[in-house]
Structures are given as C-alpha cells and as structure tokens.
Amino acid sequence: MISAEDLIALVRNYNPKTNADRIAAAYDYGRQMHEGQMRRSGEPYFTHPVAVAAILTEQRLDDATIITALLHDTIEDTKASYDEVANRFGDEVAMLVDGVTKLTNLQLSSRETKQAENFRKLFMAMSKDLRVILVKLADRLHNMRTIKAMKPEKQVQKARETMDIFAPLAGRMGMQWMREELEDLAFRVLNPEGRQSIIRRFIMLQRETGDVIHRITGDMRFELEKADIEAEVFGRAKKPYSIWRKMQEKNQGFSRLSDIYGFRIITRTEEDCYRALGIIHQRWRAVPGRFKDYISQPKSNGYRSIHTTVSGRDGKRVEVQIRTRQMHDVAETGVAAHWSYRDGVRTENPFAVDPAKWIASLTEQLTAEDDHEDFLEAVKLEMYSDQVFCFTPKGDVVKLPRGATPIDYAYAIHTRIGHACVGAKVDGIRVPLWTRLKNGQSVEIITAEGQMPQVSWLEIATTGKARTAIRRALRELDRGRFIKLGQELARSAFDHVGRKATDKALETAARHLRLKDRDELLARLGSAELTARDVVQAVYPELIRDEGDQVSPRRAVVGLEPGQSFERAPCCQPLPGERIVGITYRGKGVVVHTIDCNRLSEFEDQPQRWVDLHWHTGTHPAVYGVTLDMTIGNDAGVLGRICTLIGEKKANISNLVFVDRKPDFFRLLVDVDLRDVEQLHSLMLMLEAESDVASVERYREKPPIRTAAS
C-alpha cells in the first residue's frame, strides 16, 4: 500500500503548493475508519481508497478530489457521517464524498426501465460537480484491476456494467485512456478466450516481423529531425478489445486487419502539426479516405488532433495522430483537464471544452422529458459511439451495432418484417438496403406479401440475428434442391470408399451428427454446411483413417529437418508429382508451394528461408484438397452428373460453393480430395470433355496488391 508520504509526493510532482497536512489527515482518518475491514483478496480495505487516490494523481487533480478519493467509502461503509467529514475536511469534500456514495448505491446493471431512472440520478449527481464522476471512474478502474478476487458471477456482472456504462462514459468525457483500459479489463472477464487469441496472434506477429513499433518510431523521428521539427514520437499496439471490436465490425480475421499499430507525434506548435503531416505523407503513402483534421474542426468535447493512416514498412498500414502538447493533455485527460494543476496553479488549457455544458443540456432535458425511457434513449445516443440508435416511425428506439443496414434494422424489429422487406426509407427518403445507418435516423421498412430473403442479403447484413434468420430462410427455400444435391454428394462419397449411401447409413450418420433426420443431413450436405467426408466418417470412421500401405501424409515431403512440420500453401495447393519448394516461418514450420507459385516472388530477397523439397515416391492417399473453378449449364440433372463423374474418378468432393448464379449458367468452386497431380489432370480432362461444362480450371489465389513504402 502507498504510504501517506508517497501519496503526497505524487501530488507535489504537479502541485508544489498542495496542503500536505490536509492530505495526511485524510489518509489517517480513512485508515482509522476502515480499520479491521478487509477486501475479498485478503488485503486491508484501505488499500483500495489509496489506490483510487493514486490513479487520480496521474490526472494531476486538486487536493479536494484526492481527499475525496481517500474518504469515498467512509460514509457508506464505516461509522463516519456526513457532518463529521464536513467538520474535519470542509463542506466541499463532504459534498463530493456524499455524491460518490450515492453513485455507488445506484444499481446500474438492473433492468432497462430501472436503468433509465438510475441514469437520470447519475447525471443529476454529475451536474452538481463533475469531480464526483472522476472519483467514481477511478474507483471502478481499480475494482476492475483487482476483480479476480470476486466470485465468477459477480465478475461477469461488474464487467458488463463496466462495458455498458462506465467505459462509454469515460470515453464521452474525453478520458480515452481510461475507456480503453476499462474495456480491456471487462473484455478479459467476458471473453477471456477471445482476448488470449488476440494476444497470441500479436506474439506470433512480433516473432515474424520483429519490433515494428521501434523501427517505425525511429523512422518518424529521423524524418522530423531532418526537417528541423521538434517533436516527441510514441508508438503502441492497440488494445486487444479495440482489435476484437474492429474484427467484429469489419467481419475480418486478425491477419486481414492492417492498422493495429498507432503512433502519436506531439509537437510544440499548431503550425508544426501541419508541417509534420507533410513530412509523414512525403515519406509514406497516405491511405485514401483515412484523413481527418480535428484541429480545424474539433470534436464537441474539445478533442483536437490530426488523424491519418499511411502504408508503412512492408505495406503495413499504421495510424498516426499529430497534436500539440496542450491538445494531447485534453485528449488524454478529457474533463479532468479542467481540474488539473501544473506547478501549483490550475491549468488554463485553451483547447478544453467544459463538459458541464453537455451535462447541462441533459439536465435541461430532464425537466422536459417525463418519460424515463426517452431520457435513457437520449443519454445513450450521446454516450455510445460504437452503437447506432435509430427510430421507428412510432418513435421507438432500435439499438444496432455501428455499420448496420436497413436489413439489420428490419430483422431487429421482427423476423417476419425482415423476410418481407423490399425497401427502406431513412428520414423519409428511399435508400438502398446496403445503406449504413447513422445515430438518430428514422427508419421505415417497406414490406410486400410474398417477398422472401435474397442470397445477396447475406453480404448486406451485419448482425448475427439477421444473418442467421436469412440463412435459415434460404435453407428452407432451397431445401428440396439441397436435398437432391446432398444425395449426389453422399452417393459419390460413399462410392469412393466402396460403400452404398443407403437410407439406413444416412439415418445412422444423421444420428451420430445429432441431426433430426436423413433429409436434414442431406440438406446440410447440399448447402455445404457439412462435408461429404464428415458424413462418411460418421458411419465408417475406419475407412477414412485407414489408408493401408500408402505414404503417410506426415512423411509425404522429403527434405525437412527432423521434427519439422509442414503445411500446403492455400494459394497454390501443391500436389504430389509437382515440383515444390518450402518457405520457413517462425512457429509455423515450413509452408510448401509449387515452384511456379506467384507468391514466391515475395520471398526473393530472403533466400535463407527457402528449403529444397520434393514429394515422397509411392502411392499417396487421396487427402490433398484442390479447388476447381467450374462454369456449368443451369439445366436439370447437370450438377448431379458432374458429381457422378468426379466420384467415378475416385475423387471425393469435400465442399461446394456457388460463386455466381445466372439463368443459363452456374459458376461454382468445388473442393476435391486427390492423390496427386496425375489424378487432377485426368479429372480435368474428363470434365472438359463434358458438353455441359463451359469451363474448368484449377483455382489459384491471386497475389495481394502490394503497396511499397518509398
């Protein structure tokens, strides 16, 4: 626990004129009042108020706020009274401690109707003195840092409350650092597996690329010094929750995210901000559409900064923020900038906008809004920047994630409305269904009897509810067609292992896979939700695993070091019989490419990573997947004949995806499991000879468009 002397020293760092005796007296009084009380972790309870006070010293807050932190639980949890605190430390401190106590007693995680009234009380308390919420946020931050001592169900409750209320509130008040830490601490409780997966990916990325932050920071400092611009440069990886949220919003995997690193340039003057921007854009290529000037057009909470995204080393995108020191203070501390001290004097920051004006606008609404729900909706529209709140024609509010479309809105109202949707009006104007909705818009869904979901809606919808409902409806619409296709796929797969796809075998497979019946199994097989291999393995697992005297896939490649693993590159899908080469990766073993793979050009300047390999001689099992890009006629029975032909060549279809559907032709990608390149050539020759096959070729991933840093 921090001693009174150490706490006073922290305050003196930014306020040499602090009243040390008053802080020491509050420290002693708080420790005396909490004597004998313990936290769930087993520590003395007073360690918590002291830690809260230390957090507030980081924001350079005044003596009254620091003393309030030390005493914030005394009126609630000890024999201390309001009058006694007022007599000892003054009315200002007593009022602040009482305000924090009232906030603590609010059950902010209760049901929505009660939550509206709690929000009303919260903002009423804030309107009297904003330092009340500063202490409460620091209190919540320390509780989240030490949350492991709580019972699991209590951890989840507090984490949800933090994610829903306190983190957005901190962000809305301009305290972005606190918002990020609160979100990440809550994320650790609510989704520990997701957070760990992000951290593991980061570690793997650092092993492969080295210390990107150090290199780019050094490059930026060099360019700024060369231009005689005095500035500080800082770099950091974004928080796990920030990356997770971006993955959800963009529906992308970690490997496809680009701007996971952020850099800040702190200059002396506003003029230097724009000079630094020019230097950055000269040295690195700017990403179109990712530039924002919040200096010339500040945010409502006073935030000022220039944001740009550039392509850095190896074409990696990085976000750069450029601001002055005063702008940075506001960006970091937000509302606390109004109460912060420097050298014993209240800081006069010309860029700080008093958030009390925002509170005042809400309290004005309190007198006008009799309905608690209306007030709650207004508060949420102000606070939650990562959500969108739209209005129905009747004035009801529909909550959606940012980036949602009218399709998501329709399904949020009711599945029946979503299915029958044919159009939408936003603020009275007809808009396309792919329009991204914004906060406060009024949305009207146009429906028509007999309308059913379209396949294209899956690309438009962003919410899980909408996408699930659309898939379910499409599956029902196409159920008959999928069952027929599933029959052909199952027959081909069972023939491949010398068995028959009898009704009994399919019923057995359905039971093993926990599906309702044979038709459900075939429908899922035909819609590519199941693979034919899964179905066969459910009935005859020994036939899938036992490949006789064939070459083991583990020993299929010759030239690896003992214990070294390999995997086939998805871009070229090499097969036994083709010339191959390996590229080494840290923690990943060797990735095998065909010798003519376009992606090998990316490694021309890294010869130390190349490994000379060749396939083991002998018969290989048919376990090597290759994708065929086919265009076939849209006639009855064509797809079934194609599946039959593939089965006759002893090739197993593991997946099938329709890429494009036209009235006369289908284009589809077919994944087949093959032994070697000879079987592939034989199969493709046979398919090319089929009159209903317009084209067939081996599918190859196109190499990415590379953006080189100058």
CA distance 272 to 350: 18
Helix (H) or strand (E) segment spanning residue 593: strand 589-594
- Look up the CATH number of domain 4-190: 1.10.3210.10
Residue 77 designated active-site: yes
Q: Please determine, for residue 312, whether its predicted confidence score (pLDDT) is greater than 80.
A: no
Lowest-confidence region among 90-99, 133-142, 162-171, 571-580: 162-171
pLDDT for res 498:
78
Which amino acid would we find at residue 369?
E
pLDDT value at residue 366: 47
Query: What are the structure tokens assigned to 492, written together?
Result: 């081909």
Q: Which CATH superfamily is domain 194-346 in?
A: Beta Polymerase, domain 2 (3.30.460.10)
**Do residues 73 and 47 make contact, with C-beta atoms less than 8 angstroms apart?**
no
Query: pLDDT higher for 642 or 23?
Result: 23
Confidence of residue 10 (pLDDT cuts 50, 70, 90): very high
Q: Please check the confidence at residue 317 and state whether its pLDDT lies above 60.
A: yes
Q: What is the pLDDT of residues 501-521, one digit of tens each?
A: 888 889 988 888 888 889 888
Catalytic annotation on 76? yes
Query: Which range, of 131-140, 189-198, 216-225, 328-337, averages the lowest pLDDT?
Result: 328-337
Please compute the mean of the pLDDT values over residues 359-363 and round it to a whole number.
57
Which member of 76, 84, 219, 382 is catalytic?
A: 76
Does the fold of domain 619-710 match that of domain 194-346? no
Using only C-alpha atoms, the chain has a radius of gyration, in whole angstroms, of: 32
The architecture (CATH level 2) of 386-476 comes to Roll (3.10)
Q: Who has greater pLDDT, 270 or 131?
A: 270
From 445, 440, 433, select the one nearest 381 (Cα to Cα): 440
**Largest CA-CA distance found in the chain, in angstroms, rounded:** 98
CA–CA separation, 523 and 487 (whole Å): 9
Work out the average pLDDT over 524-541.
81
Lookup result for tokens 């509302």? 335
Query: What pLDDT, in 10s, does the model give residues 434-447?
Result: 999 987 788 999 99
520-548: average pLDDT: 75
Which pLDDT score, from 0 to 100, does residue 393 have? 86
> At residue 703, does pLDDT exceed 60?
no
Give the lowest-confidence range in 188-197, 303-312, 326-335, 490-499.
326-335
Name the residue with higher pLDDT: 593 or 315.
Answer: 593
Looking at every residue in the chain, the average pLDDT score rounds to 81
Nearest CA to 227 out of 264, 268, 278 is that of: 278
Token code pair at residue 399 = 């909550």
Q: What is the pLDDT of residue 706?
A: 43
Distance CA 624, CA 643 (A): 18
Looking at residue 654, what is its pLDDT? Answer: 83
Q: Model confidence at 184, in pLDDT bands (50, 70, 90)?
A: very high
H or E, element range at 622:
none
pLDDT(403) > 70? yes
Domains of the chain: which residue ranges?
4-190, 194-346, 386-476, 553-615, 619-710
**Domain formed by 619-710, architecture:** 2-Layer Sandwich (3.30)
Instruction: Check residue 368 and give its pLDDT.
Output: 47
Which residue among 43, 58, 77, 184 is the active-site one? Answer: 77
pLDDT tens figures, 51-89: 999 999 988 888 999 999 999 999 888 888 889 999 999
Give the mean pLDDT of 380-406: 73
Model pTM?
Answer: 0.52
Q: What is the 3-state secondary structure (H, E, C) of 247-270?
A: HHHHCCCHHHCCCCEEEEEEECCH
Pairing of strands 566-568, 589-594: parallel
pLDDT at 50 over 90: yes
pLDDT of residue 452: 84
